[in-house]
Amino acid sequence: MNNKVKLPTKKALTNLIIELKKDLDTWNTEEMDVTVACSGSDSDDWAFLTGDNSYTGACYSYHHWAIGTISKDTNSKELATELLDQLDESFAYDSLMKEC
């Protein structure tokens, strides 16, 4: 993990996923996509979207994104880790491209 980049905390993403899992019944769906995006400059500077938001929403001002799928069986901590790994890889790729 890149120590210079400040990603959302695993706890914050785990709590988000737990809350979104509660909405599955409300929205009458078995699963939903979640997108998390962040700036990397502050661990509190991030946003999320659910589903396909047709190019509008809270994440579109960020350059680094991670996408996962939530169902009732989703392990919230594992998905939070996967999302953080995707974000970290996005920053690493961006850094590599700047060196080219």
Beta bridge partners of 70: 32
Instruction: For the chain, count helices (H), then strands (E).
Output: 2, 3
State both tokens at 20: 């979104």
In a domain, 5, yes or no: no
Query: How many structural domains are present in the chain?
Result: 1
**To which H or E segment does residue 47 belong?**
strand 46-50
Q: What is the pLDDT of residues 14-44, one digit of tens each?
A: 999 999 999 998 889 999 999 999 999 999 9
Please report the pLDDT score of residue 73 as a whole number: 96
The per-residue pLDDT for range 51-73, each reduced to its tens digit, is: 866 677 888 889 999 999 999 99
- Residue 1 in any domain: the answer is no
Q: What is the pLDDT of residue 100?
A: 60
- How much is the pTM? 0.88
On whether residue 4 sits in a domain, the answer given is no
Q: Is residue 30 part of a domain?
A: yes
Range of the domain at 30: 10-99
Q: What is the pLDDT of residue 53?
A: 62
Residue 81 covered by a domain = yes
Residue 65 covered by a domain: yes
| pLDDT exceeds cutoff 80 at 74 | yes
What's the pLDDT band for 93 if we cut at 50, 70, 90?
Answer: confident
